[in-house]
């Protein structure tokens, strides 16, 4: 059933009379097509949150019609992309009606008021199935919302549905679930855990989404799908009501189509939460106010050896162009040395599997037959790691993090790739991914996992395309609590390039 068709004559007349559906925007017969005039109808679903929010606030667009339009788009296209695992259509429509009613009464909640978004199916949603990519939790229905969900709803966001992920947020997928398809090229990798979030955001099936990142799961799908992904400082965004993978490295953050949109979502999500013992009490400073495009005099660190050795040539070339643009904008590129992290994949696997085994101790191994073979092997491995080995990598992690903090404190932020290579062809066996297969998909982990070890904030964003037409991504890394600096830098770069304006043709 088409959700737009459900907009009743009474609703339409009411919204028309109150200005919530402009006569210039006839949602009742929408059929957006490309044309030479580039009018308003062209790709409304690819508008940014900041663009759509101004239309809602000025009553040119009704949240109800916008939500129904997005649900229709999901119905039409997601049957081939598999980004959503659970739709919340009827609930979304009711919330949209409420947002429109509030707006009529002069109650505007801010830039997320009436904006349709997607939520990774790792976050609890009250009364709605939350599976965490597993079979073992296929019937789990939480009786409360995750703090992030609660905050986004309080900010006026409309949740369209729950987004697909790898099993338990680890690399392999459960064999009974569909794997999200990269909208740029169906043969290419769509990322790891937050792949549904990356696909839905890139394909215009939501205006922004929530991802989680334990070892790269915001950055990888952002990179290969051409999105902006913000991994905040560890503890900036509450993990309460979020299924854990490895609690000491789990981060929650936004995935969007522009830096400003990521900041809008981040500011709604961030802040101290008494329900999360790792939540930080450090006050949140405004980030959006820093998005002025001025980075003149900023000291941006760059380690050429770290950022180019064993990195695909197309990534290196794109990174060189990023450096040129930053210099043109007045930034000062400073030579730095990234601390040696050793083998981050080995370190992460030890810590990650041990903590994952703890997180799943209520259901594993007692219900091991319900787990996919790949994740089951990881949990078994984690149960058998010795205390000495875990202590060894924990010590390595602490020493590396201390050195990284010192280096970052000497500059304003650092620039490096998000990934060492463009998206490869799909995994040969996505349900039991071997170490060899993982290294094929992502040549090195040095651009992701070290920043989970240390908990520092990162911003990944588009910076070009491969010869195959696949998005390339650059990453800005900041000191703890300095989301403002990396977003300020990323915004200036974004506003002086056009990569974020490119979208896949579905």
What is the mean pLDDT of the segment spanning 47-51? Answer: 97
Q: What integer pLDDT is reported at residue 18 of this predicted model?
A: 40
CA pair distance 232, 77, nearest whole angstrom: 31
Query: Would you place residue 13 in the very low, low, confident or very high pLDDT band (cuts 50, 70, 90)?
Result: very low
Q: State the average pLDDT for the chain.
A: 91
Looking at the domain assignment, is residue 114 inside a domain? yes
Q: What is the pTM of this model?
A: 0.92
> Over 70: is that where the pLDDT of 7 sits?
no
Q: What is the pLDDT of residues 458-497, one digit of tens each?
A: 999 999 999 999 999 999 999 999 999 999 999 999 999 9
> Over 70: is that where the pLDDT of 235 sits?
yes
CA pair distance 130, 140, nearest whole angstrom: 6
> Over 90: is that where the pLDDT of 433 sits?
no
Q: Is 492 helix (H, G, I), strand (E, B) or coil?
A: helix
> Over 50: is that where the pLDDT of 20 sits?
no
Domain count across the chain: 1
- What are the residue ranges of helices labelled H in 344-461? 344-359, 373-383, 387-408, 435-441, 449-454
Query: Would you place residue 37 in the very low, low, confident or very high pLDDT band (cuts 50, 70, 90)?
Result: very low
CA pair distance 355, 49, nearest whole angstrom: 36
Query: Would you place residue 2 in the very low, low, confident or very high pLDDT band (cuts 50, 70, 90)?
Result: low
CA pair distance 506, 74, nearest whole angstrom: 11
Q: Is 465 exposed, middle or buried (0-12, 13-18, 19+ CB in 10 A)?
A: middle
Q: Of the given ranges (5-9, 158-162, 282-286, 401-405), which has the lowest mean pLDDT?
A: 5-9
Q: Is 44 helix (H, G, I), strand (E, B) or coil?
A: helix
Q: What is the pLDDT of residues 87-134, one digit of tens each?
A: 999 999 999 999 999 999 999 999 999 999 999 999 999 999 999 999
What is the mean pLDDT of the segment spanning 41-55? Answer: 87
Give yes or no: 473 in active site.
no
Catalytic residue among 197, 217, 238, 420: 217
Closest CA to 47 of 29, 32, 36, 64: 32
Listed in sequence order, the residues at least 6 apart from 139 whose beta carbon sits closer than 8 Å to its beta carbon are 129
Q: What integer pLDDT is reported at residue 72 of this predicted model?
A: 96
Q: What integer pLDDT is reported at residue 333 of this predicted model?
A: 98
Which residues are 459's β-sheet partners?
230, 476
CA pair distance 327, 321, nearest whole angstrom: 10
Q: What integer pLDDT is reported at residue 431 of this predicted model?
A: 78
Listed in sequence order, the residues at least 6 apart from 54 whose beta carbon sits closer than 8 Å to its beta carbon are none
Catalytic residue among 53, 62, 193, 238: 193
Q: What integer pLDDT is reported at residue 29 of this predicted model?
A: 30
Q: What is the pLDDT of residues 247-269, one digit of tens each?
A: 999 999 999 999 999 999 999 99
Closest CA to 326 of 259, 415, 408: 415
Give yes or no: 120 in active site.
yes
Strands 116-120 and 84-87, sheet pairing: unpaired
What are residue 117's phi and psi, to 5 degrees? -130, 170
Q: What integer pLDDT is reported at residue 32 of this predicted model?
A: 28
Cis omega (within 30 of 0) for bond into 365: yes
Q: Of the given ranges (5-19, 138-152, 198-212, 381-395), which has the lowest mean pLDDT?
A: 5-19
Q: What is the pLDDT of residues 162-201, one digit of tens each?
A: 999 999 999 789 999 999 999 999 999 999 899 999 999 9
What is the mean pLDDT of the segment spanning 272-292? Answer: 95
Q: What integer pLDDT is reported at residue 306 of this predicted model?
A: 97
Q: What integer pLDDT is reported at residue 442 of this predicted model?
A: 77
CA pair distance 353, 267, nearest whole angstrom: 31
DSSP E strand boundaries for 15-132: 84-87, 116-120
Q: Of the given ranges (1-5, 293-297, 340-344), which has the lowest mean pLDDT?
A: 1-5
> Over 80: is that where the pLDDT of 10 sits?
no
> Over 90: is that where the pLDDT of 436 sits?
no
Six token digits for residue 164 = 């697909």
Give the CA angle between residues 301, 266, 198 to the nearest 5°. Answer: 85
> Over 70: is that where the pLDDT of 8 sits?
no
Looking at the domain assignment, is residue 288 inside a domain? yes
Looking at the domain assignment, is residue 204 inside a domain? yes
Looking at the domain assignment, is residue 272 inside a domain? yes
Segments forming the whole domain that contains residue 84: 4-501
Looking at the domain assignment, is residue 68 inside a domain? yes
What are residue 432's phi and psi, to 5 degrees? -155, 70
Q: What is the pLDDT of residues 52-85, one digit of tens each?
A: 999 999 999 999 999 999 999 999 999 999 999 9
Q: What integer pLDDT is reported at residue 427 of this predicted model?
A: 81
Give yes or no: 193 in active site.
yes
- What are the residue ranges of helices labelled H in 114-191? 147-154
Looking at the domain assignment, is residue 428 inside a domain? yes
What is the mean pLDDT of the segment spanning 135-144? Answer: 97
Give the CA angle between residues 306, 254, 92 to the nearest 5°. Answer: 160
> Over 60: is that where the pLDDT of 3 sits?
no
Catalytic residue among 68, 120, 188, 488: 120
What is the mean pLDDT of the segment spanning 303-322? Answer: 97
Q: Of the given ranges (128-137, 356-365, 425-434), which has the lowest mean pLDDT?
A: 425-434
Domain CATH code at residue 175: 3.90.1300.10
What is the mean pLDDT of the segment spanning 42-55? Answer: 90
Q: What integer pLDDT is reported at residue 432 of this predicted model?
A: 79
Q: What share of the chain in percent tops pLDDT 90? A: 86
Lookup result for tokens 């040119």: 60
Q: What integer pLDDT is reported at residue 4 of this predicted model?
A: 53
> Over 80: is that where the pLDDT of 33 sits?
no
Looking at the domain assignment, is residue 506 inside a domain? no
Looking at the domain assignment, is residue 141 inside a domain? yes
């Amino acid at each position: 059933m088409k959700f737009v068709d459900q907009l009743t004559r009474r609703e339409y007349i009411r919204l028309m009379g109150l200005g919530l559906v402009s006569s210039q925007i006839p949602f009742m017969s929408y059929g957006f097509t490309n044309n030479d005039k580039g009018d308003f109808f062209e790709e409304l679903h690819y508008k940014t949150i900041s663009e759509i929010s101004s239309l809602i606030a000025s009553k040119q667009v009704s949240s109800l019609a916008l939500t129904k339009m997005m649900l229709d788009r999901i119905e039409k296209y997601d049957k081939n992309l598999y980004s959503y695992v659970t739709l919340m259509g009827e609930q979304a429509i009711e919330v949209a009606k409420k947002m429109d009613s509030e707006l009529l009464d002069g109650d505007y909640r801010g830039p997320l008021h009436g904006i349709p978004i997607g939520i990774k199916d790792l976050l609890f949603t009250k009364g709605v199935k939350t599976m965490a990519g597993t079979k073992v939790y296929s019937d789990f229905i939480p009786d409360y919302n995750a703090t992030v969900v609660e905050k986004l709803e309080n900010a006026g966001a409309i949740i369209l549905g729950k987004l697909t992920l790898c099993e338990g947020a680890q690399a392999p997928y459960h064999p009974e679930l569909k794997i999200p398809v990269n909208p740029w090229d169906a043969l290419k990798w769509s990322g790891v855990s937050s792949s549904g979030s990356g696909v839905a955001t890139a394909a215009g099936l939501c205006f922004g989404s929530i991802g989680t990142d334990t070892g790269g799961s915001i950055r990888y799908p952002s990179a290969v799908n051409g999105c902006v992904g913000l991994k905040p400082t560890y503890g900036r965004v509450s993990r309460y009501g979020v299924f854990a993978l490895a609690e000491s490295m789990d981060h929650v953050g936004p995935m969007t189509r522009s830096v400003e949109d990521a900041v809008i979502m981040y500011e709604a999500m961030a802040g101290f939460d008494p329900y999360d013992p790792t939540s930080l009490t450090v006050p949140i400073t405004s980030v959006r106010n820093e998005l002025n495009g001025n980075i003149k005099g900023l000291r941006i660190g760059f380690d050429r050896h770290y950022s180019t050795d064993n990195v695909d040539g197309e990534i290196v070339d794109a990174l060189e162009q990023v450096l040129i643009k930053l210099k043109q904008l007045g930034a000062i590129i400073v030579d730095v040395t990234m601390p040696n992290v050793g083998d981050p994949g080995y370190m992460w696997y030890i810590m990650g599997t041990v903590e994952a085994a703890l997180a799943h101790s209520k259901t594993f191994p007692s219900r091991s037959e319900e787990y996919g073979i790949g994740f089951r092997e990881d949990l078994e491995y984690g149960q058998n790691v010795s205390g000495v080995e875990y202590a060894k990598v924990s010590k390595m992690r602490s020493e590396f993090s201390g050195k990284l903090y010192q280096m970052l404190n000497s500059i304003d932020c650092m620039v490096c790739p998000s990934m060492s290579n463009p998206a490869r062809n799909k995994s040969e066996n996505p349900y039991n991914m071997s170490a060899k297969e993982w290294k094929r998909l992502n040549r090195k982990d040095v651009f992701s996992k070290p920043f989970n070890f240390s908990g520092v904030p990162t911003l990944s964003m588009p910076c070009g395309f491969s010869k195959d037409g696949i998005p390339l991504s650059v990453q800005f890394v900041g000191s703890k609590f300095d989301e403002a600096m990396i977003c300020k830098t990323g915004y200036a770069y974004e506003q002086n390039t056009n990569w974020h304006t490119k979208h896949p043709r579905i």
